[in-house]
Structures are given as structure tokens and as C-alpha cells.
Chains A and B, each alone.
Chain A
Amino acid sequence: MKLFTELFRKIDGTTSTTAKTKALVQFFEKAEDRDKIWAIALFTHKRPKRSVSTGLLRTWAAKEASVSDWLFDECYQMVGDLAETIALLLPIGSADKKNTLDQWVRYIDDLRDQTEELKEKSVLTAWRSLGQEERFLFNKIITGGFRMGVSDRTITKALSKNLSINENTIAHRLMGNWDPFTVSFSELLLEANENESNSKPYPFYLAYALDKEIDLLGTPEDWMAEWKWDGIRSQLILRNQEVFLWSRGQELINQSFPEFEILKEFEGSSFVIDGELIVRTEDGIQDFNVLQKRLGRKKPGKKTLKDHPAHIIAYDLLELEGEDLRHLPQGERRIKLEKLFTAFPEQFPLSISPLLNFKSWEELAELRSMAREKKSEGLMLKSVEGTYKTSRKKGDWWKWKLDPYTIDAVMIYAQRGHGRRTSLFTDFTFAVWKGDQLVPFTKAYTGLTDVEFQEITRFVKKNTLERFGPVSSVKAELVFEIAFEGIAKSKRHKSGVALRFPRIKRWRKDKQASEANKIEDLMFLL
């Protein structure tokens, strides 16, 4: 556990990716193989199933710390993280010297089938034998949600340095459904395995937002443009008559979308398609929240499948008949993709993302302004000569999104932030006018600087009207410009609308509450 704790401390204490990579490389050099597997698993969000409920952990910790339940809750509200709250409240202990990370994970996993009394005994024994940082890590492993600010890319890079294997290969080997309890380090990372599981997707190539004038990209002939669809970026895999659907978050989502099983009928072929998963009915593409509902349903019923059918709009072809095509230029991959589609039967829930016709950047800009009518968020630009790269790289792909919608709204509720912002009010609810009433329509919590949050925090403390648990209602005085990407009708929200990606664009200190927008202005955007 000592090496892992050290690694955690180093990673947690820096914002520099280089420093994080360096810390990981050092860890991979020194740690035992089993601990390396667990470090990779925890950083890439593969953790054992929860073996103890958080409710029990709270009760035991409050008792062990001699703190009453309400005071425990107060602390939790402040810290915003259960594992950390417990670690801070328990009597101060000294660091563990005996057990490895692997042993602790198994210790935790073994609790699952025990009685409550035994669980309590084991957890208390563990807490008493660990130092504060280790307790935090131990609690994190139990409660899950191990977010450490280490991207998959950083892990891949560090392993690549440590093992002298190229990054793409490492990334490929780390994807998919491996079990950290059983897989060995060499099986996972060192063995170039011919039968590598049929399910393995490729790392996604992600685009940056266009950060310069469009004409600086060069001549329009060198670029392909398509609509940027607002769904879930996915990889659809057919290999050996097995179908796999992966979301960009590296989750296998087949179960939620059985409509793609039909691809099995496409015998004797294999391919990997990169595309956008959407819900499409006869009325066209549905809003993102419909898709989100589908995603949440592990076994959708007949009605759901009929009312909200899933569909993939294909962008790219990454593999065909077992051959990795990613090194080919975009244009060539597109030709192969189009050819593959000519062979597909009509009932497949698949289509190709159409290429836009444009001779000049002006023409393209005009097309872009029509994106919303097309149910798209803007354009994707791809260099004809570009290869398919790994993760976010500048150069060959650019997103050229529409400017967001904006609305001026009044802040009416405030809540303390979580994580690094616990001492500040950072989560706000905003309202617009409906007659002389303010109707809340969205929450937002990003987009301001720490100094602004501090100023608002002072305002909130002075102007709190009522408290509802952690939420304070405040005097309707401050006006903010809220930006968002999309808006849809919603029954779940009081205002009748749901926003997509709302964030605070700026603080309109120049405006009075009475000058904020009206609900009619929001409805007009629908």
C-alpha cells in the first residue's frame, strides 16, 4: 500500500501531466505486478462491486469518531466526499506497513458475503490499522468513484515508457473487459495475443474545437465536412458473427441497444465502424434526452424499441475483414466505408453521415448556420489526407460548432461546491421571469473564476432568505448570462424545458434582476 499511497499523493498534488506520468512510471518500475494491475484498474474505473453500503460506513464512522449523526452529515455536506469525510473524522492513526494494495482490495472484496457484524469488525480493524491517507484510499476503493485526475492517456503513456511498447498497442490492450482479479500483468500487457478478444474497440480519435479562423485550414478541397450529430459517439464492431457496441466512455452498451444484433446476419464479414448513436423515428432524430433514457434501460421492452429506435450514423471505418485501416488517409477510409454500405441490407439501423458539398469556406459557413434545423450541433472538419489517430490530437479533425444559445437569468438558489470548491458557493439555480414570478429553469456551476465565486459566496452569505438542507435561497439580485447548446421540452422540469450543457458565460453586473429574460424568450428557442 505504501507505494500506491505515495503515487496517489504525487498525482493528487500536481496539475502537471508530465509530473503525473513521471510518478506513474516510477510506480510501475517499483511496484509488484498485482499492485500494478490494481492501480491500472482503479485509475481506469474498474473497481470491485461495492461490498459494504455507504449507509453502514457512515454509521460505523460516526460511532468510531464519537460524532453524532447530524454532525457527521454536516461534515459530509462540507467535504462533499464520503471517503474523505470518514478519513478526516476518525481518530488519527499511523501508516500501514504490512499489506499490499492487492491484499487490501481482496480484503474489501471478501466482505461482500459476510454478515453485517463481521463487516463492521473488519472495516473497523482496517481503519484502525491505517494512516489518514491510506484510510482515504481504502474508503475510496470501498465506495468506488475513484477519480484522480489521471486520464487513460496518461496511464497509457506511462506504461508505454515503462514497458517500451508503443502507446497504441497499450491503449488497445487496456480496453475491453478484463478482470483485475484474475488477469496477470503479463497477460494483460505483454502477451501479443492473436485471439485478442473479439470485442476490443480502438481508442477513439477526438477532435478539438476549431481555435482559429476557418480559412487558415488551407484550401477547401483538402477537407471533408459533415454534420456534427448530437448523440453518443460509439464504435460498432462485428467480428466472427459477434456484435459489440462501445460508447466513447469505453462502456459496452449492447444490452441497451439490441437492435444492432441484426448485424449478425451479415455473414462472413467483419468490420469496426466509428459513428454516432442516436434515436431516430419517422419524425427524424430525437433529442439527446430520449437517447439518454434508452441508455439507462438495460433491457428495453418492445414498446421502447418501437417508439424510440436506435440508429447509428457512420463516420468512419476503422477495420475491415480483420485489417486495421487507421493508417489509411481519411478519403480512402471513406471510400471503403461507402462501399461496405452498398452491401448492407436496407433494414440495418445504419446510415452514412453525408458529406457536405462546398467549394469555399463561405459556402461552408452558410451550411453551418443551418445546423440546428438539421438537428446537429455544427460541423466536423476532417483532413482528406489524415490518418485515424488516438485520443485528442490537433490537426486533422476539428469541431466547428454553432455559437451557443444565451439567456440572462437571475440566481435564486445557491449550494456549496463539492471537491475542490467546498468552501465556496458554486452550484446555482437560475430563473427567468414568468409575469412577476421567477421560474427556475436550470442549474449551472461552471464558467466563473475563483475570485468571482468568492464574491458570490459573500453575497450568498449576506443575502440568504431560507435554507433547505444544503441549499440556500437567496435574494433575487444577481444576473448571469447562461449559455447552452440545446433546449428541449421536458415534463420533469418546472419550467417545462431542459437545457443541454448549460454553463455560466459571464456575470452581468451591468443588469438588474428585472432586466433578465422572460420564460417566453426561452420558449421561443424551442
Chain B
Amino acid sequence: MTITDKGIYCAEANVYIDPWKPVDKALITHAHSDHARWGHKQYISQHSSVPIIRHRLKGANVRGVKFGEKININGVQFSFHPAGHIIGSAQIRVEHKGRVEVASGDYKLEADGISEEIEIVKCHHFITESTFGLPIFRWRPQSEVFSDINEWWKKNKEEGKISFITAYALGKAQRLIQNVDSKIGTIYTHGSIEIVNNLFRDQGINIPTTRHLTSEISQKQLIGNLVIAPSSALGSSWGKKIKPASIAITSGWMTMRGNRRRRGADRGFILSDHADWDGLNKVIDATGASEVTVTHGYTEAFARHLSERGFKAYTATTEYTGEQLIENETPVEA
């Protein structure tokens, strides 16, 4: 595989993985908007991403495949394997004439309780993200982070406040819903999150009970409860009405004090759906790959580090954005 100005390209099969410019055939690792973009003639993704892609890219021609299912295009064998990033997120394995390459999209190592756990895929060439590819990023176990989140929620409840937490509508939101202690109170969701929840529920994926926060629900009802919304809702008129509230942001970027101190948020929880430094290194080691192409993130530093560790490491320019402090996913309106 090579990386062109359109995307990750497999010349033998003439297909692209997560292309950012319109192409005929696109294999999609997951449904985040920087990986699943407009304008391709055909999309192929793992089943649970299909309804999301169809919803976000109206009219898209999407074909679903199962994890592990082998598909053959022009003599090249493709298969999708869990990446642990969000529900349905996949690494795409490409085999041709005995050579195996893997485009991993976005991934994480820790089991988050809702996404399919990452599967290590042995390969010769591994294409990796590097969103958090510096040794300052080291995640605590999620059980500790969620116990902090639960404590925060409880404290707000005692103080008669709403707990307002931001998360990506696709991925982080479902992870929060799954893992917070729902005994503390009711979980209310922003419309864009509830749509994604229902797209998963309709497929038989179990997402714990949530309530869509509509205009009929009074602010009084929200006191003591949890509201989950994409960060773009924070400054909106919708978000401003939610008070009195303690506002929290969940992101790997909260590692840095400067980011935690951002105005407009009371708490920053370090929680990411991307691998941390140790995670990236462990996964790459486990693949057994000798060649690694490093994409979005701390591309150059991480590739240099891999070279020092004996890998043939390359950098590549892509248009993937990784985790953003302010979500630039277009909110799906209710």
C-alpha cells in the first residue's frame, strides 16, 4: 500500500482505504467523519458502521462485511479486524502474494467495555496513527477514570447541580453511557448522540438506557443528573440553558494542564479512544511488522522513535485529524 494525495491506496486492487478525496471504491475503517468522507462511488465497512455512514452521508452506497470475513478484489484479499477504537471500528488487513499489510485507522489497546477489543494482526507493514505518540501521554486504567467521573457526578448531585459532560457523539459518548454508574441518576443525551445510540440499538447492540434531552424536559428535572453532549454544544444556546451545571471535558488532551484550564470547563478527565504511548508501542511490537508507516499525530517524532528502536519507519501526510479538543464532527441534528 502507498499513501497518495487521495488516501491509502492499494494499486493491485485499485481501492482506497479511508480516502479523503472522491474515489470509486473506498474501504472504511470506521465512521468518524475524517475517515468516512463524502463522494465515493462505493463504501465497504464493517456491519455496525454501515447505518452510521448511511445516516451521515445520505445516499451513500455502503456494503457491510463481518469482522474476519475475507473479500477478494482483483486477487487481493481484504479483511476487517477489530481496532478497539469505537463500536465497529476496524483495522483493514490486506494480503497479496504472501505479503500482509494492515491499515489500522484509529485504535486503542484498553478494553473499554463497549467496543470490540482490538485484535493483534500479524503483518509485514503496519500503518499506524500517532495522535498521542509522545511519552507524556500515558492513560490510567479506565476504571480509575470512571470512578473519578462518578465521584464528580455524585458531588454535583449533592450540590444541586447538573453534571454536563462532553464527548464525541460517535464513540466516546457510548463509552461513557456504558461505564458511568447509572445508579447515581438519569443519563440525558444531546440529539446527535441519541441518533447514534439508536442506530446501534436498531442493530441489536446493547446501549444502556438514556433519555433524549428535548425541549420538553425542564432544567429542574436535570438537577442531579448527567447530560452528555458533543463539545460543540458547549457554547451553543442549547448548552447555555443547562444550568446550574458543572462542566467536564473528556479527552486525551486533558493530560496537559494548559488544556485542563481551558475556560468554560470545570473539570478535564483524561479519557481517550486512541492508544497512549505505551499502547502504540505495544501494538506495533505485537504485530511483528518490520515496516511501519506513521500517519496523523506526532508523525515525525514517533517515526524517529520507531527508527531508533530498529523499525523501518516512514511518515505520511494524510488528512485524518485524530482526536480534537473541540469536536469538528458535524453534529447530526435531531
Partner of B134, one of A75, A84, A418: A75
> Which chain A residues lie closer than 8 Å to B54 at the CB level?
none
Most buried by A among B258, B267, B325: B258
Partner of A420, one of B258, B321, B324: B258
Contact A89-B136, Cβ < 8 Å, known A13-B260, A15-B263: yes
Contact A75 B136 (CB under 8 A): yes
Contact A423-B259, Cβ < 8 Å, known A78-B136, A89-B136: yes
**A-binding segment of B61-69, B88-96, B301-309:** B301-309
- B287 at interface by CB-CB < 8 Å: no
Contact B258 A67 (CB under 8 A): no
- B146 at interface by CB-CB < 8 Å: no
From residue B110, how far is it (CB to closest CB) to chain A in Å?
Answer: 16
From residue B240, how far is it (CB to closest CB) to chain A in Å?
Answer: 15
Partner of B260, one of A12, A80, A417, A421: A12
- A523 at interface by CB-CB < 8 Å: no
From residue A58, how far is it (CB to closest CB) to chain B in Å?
Answer: 14
- B285 at interface by CB-CB < 8 Å: no
Count CB-based A-B contacts (< 8 Å).
78
- A525 at interface by CB-CB < 8 Å: no
- B311 at interface by CB-CB < 8 Å: no
- B115 at interface by CB-CB < 8 Å: no
**A-binding segment of B165-173, B222-230, B249-257:** B249-257
Contact B266 A450 (CB under 8 A): no
What are the interface flags for B135-165 relative to A under an 8 Å C-beta threshold, 1 for contact and 0 otherwise? 1101000000000000000000000000000
CA distance A85 to B267 in the complex (A): 20
| Dominant SS among interface residues on chain A | helix
- B211 at interface by CB-CB < 8 Å: no
Contact B267 A70 (CB under 8 A): no
CA distance A458 to B261 in the complex (A): 22
- A94 at interface by CB-CB < 8 Å: no
- A81 at interface by CB-CB < 8 Å: yes
Contact A88 B136 (CB under 8 A): yes
Contact A149-B256, Cβ < 8 Å, known A14-B266, A65-B135, A454-B326: no
- B38 at interface by CB-CB < 8 Å: no
CA distance A420 to B136 in the complex (A): 15
Contact B135 A450 (CB under 8 A): no
> Which chain A residues lie closer than 8 Å to B308 at the CB level?
68
> Which chain A residues lie closer than 8 Å to B135 at the CB level?
65, 67, 71, 75, 89
> Which chain A residues lie closer than 8 Å to B301 at the CB level?
71, 74
CA distance A71 to B135 in the complex (A): 8
CA distance A75 to B259 in the complex (A): 15
Contact B257 A423 (CB under 8 A): no
- For residues 62 through 116 of chain A, which have their beta carbon under 8 Å from a beta carbon of chain B? 65, 67-68, 70-71, 74-75, 78-81, 84-85, 88-89, 92
Contact A423-B263, Cβ < 8 Å, known A71-B305, A454-B324: no
From residue B298, how far is it (CB to closest CB) to chain A in Å?
Answer: 7
> Which chain A residues lie closer than 8 Å to B326 at the CB level?
450-451, 454
Partner of A450, one of B134, B262, B319: B262
What are the interface flags for A143-172 relative to B under an 8 Å C-beta threshold, 1 for contact and 0 otherwise? 000000100000000000000000000000
- For residues 273 through 332 of chain B, which have their beta carbon under 8 Å from a beta carbon of chain A? 298, 301, 304-305, 308, 319, 321, 324-326, 328
Contact A80-B258, Cβ < 8 Å, known A14-B266, A423-B253, A454-B328: yes
| Chain A residue, CB-CB nearest to B321 | A458
Contact A12-B257, Cβ < 8 Å, known A78-B136, A79-B136, A85-B136: yes
Contact A420 B261 (CB under 8 A): yes
CA distance A418 to B256 in the complex (A): 10
- A422 at interface by CB-CB < 8 Å: yes
CA distance A74 to B299 in the complex (A): 12
> Which chain B residues lie closer than 8 Å to A89 at the CB level?
135-136
- For residues 115 through 141 of chain B, which have their beta carbon under 8 Å from a beta carbon of chain A? 134-136, 138
Contact A149 B261 (CB under 8 A): yes
Contact A92 B138 (CB under 8 A): yes
> Which chain B residues lie closer than 8 Å to A451 at the CB level?
326
CA distance A78 to B132 in the complex (A): 11
From residue A452, how far is it (CB to closest CB) to chain B in Å?
Answer: 11
| Chain B residue, CB-CB nearest to A15 | B263
- A329 at interface by CB-CB < 8 Å: no
Contact B134 A13 (CB under 8 A): no
- A395 at interface by CB-CB < 8 Å: no
Contact B267 A13 (CB under 8 A): yes
CA distance A451 to B234 in the complex (A): 12
Contact A419 B258 (CB under 8 A): yes
What are the interface flags for A221-242 relative to B under an 8 Å C-beta threshold, 1 for contact and 0 otherwise? 0000000000000000000000
From residue B268, how far is it (CB to closest CB) to chain A in Å?
Answer: 8
| Chain B residue, CB-CB nearest to A133 | B257
From residue A273, how far is it (CB to closest CB) to chain B in Å?
Answer: 39
From residue B218, how far is it (CB to closest CB) to chain A in Å?
Answer: 26
> Which chain B residues lie closer than 8 Å to A14 at the CB level?
266
CA distance A366 to B171 in the complex (A): 61
> Which chain A residues lie closer than 8 Å to B256 at the CB level?
78-79, 84, 420, 422-423
> Which chain A residues lie closer than 8 Å to B136 at the CB level?
75, 78-79, 85, 88-89
> Which chain B residues lie closer than 8 Å to A419 at the CB level?
257-258, 261
From residue B80, how far is it (CB to closest CB) to chain A in Å?
Answer: 29
- For residues 1 through 17 of chain A, which have their beta carbon under 8 Å from a beta carbon of chain B? 12-15
- For residues 410 through 468 of chain A, which have their beta carbon under 8 Å from a beta carbon of chain B? 417-424, 450-451, 454, 458, 462
CA distance A149 to B321 in the complex (A): 32
| Chain B residue, CB-CB nearest to A78 | B134
Q: Which 6 A-B pairs have the closest CB atoms?
A: A420-B258, A419-B258, A88-B136, A74-B301, A420-B261, A75-B136
Apart from the given pairs A74-B298, A420-B257, A454-B326, 17 other A-B contacts in the complex at a CB distance below 8 Å: A13-B260, A13-B266, A68-B308, A71-B301, A75-B135, A80-B258, A81-B257, A85-B136, A88-B136, A88-B138, A89-B135, A421-B258, A422-B259, A423-B259, A450-B325, A454-B324, A454-B325
| 24 pairs, A vs B, C-beta closer than 8 Å | A14-B266, A15-B261, A65-B135, A67-B135, A68-B305, A70-B304, A71-B304, A74-B301, A75-B134, A78-B136, A78-B298, A79-B136, A81-B257, A84-B256, A88-B136, A89-B136, A419-B258, A419-B261, A420-B259, A421-B258, A424-B325, A450-B262, A454-B326, A462-B319
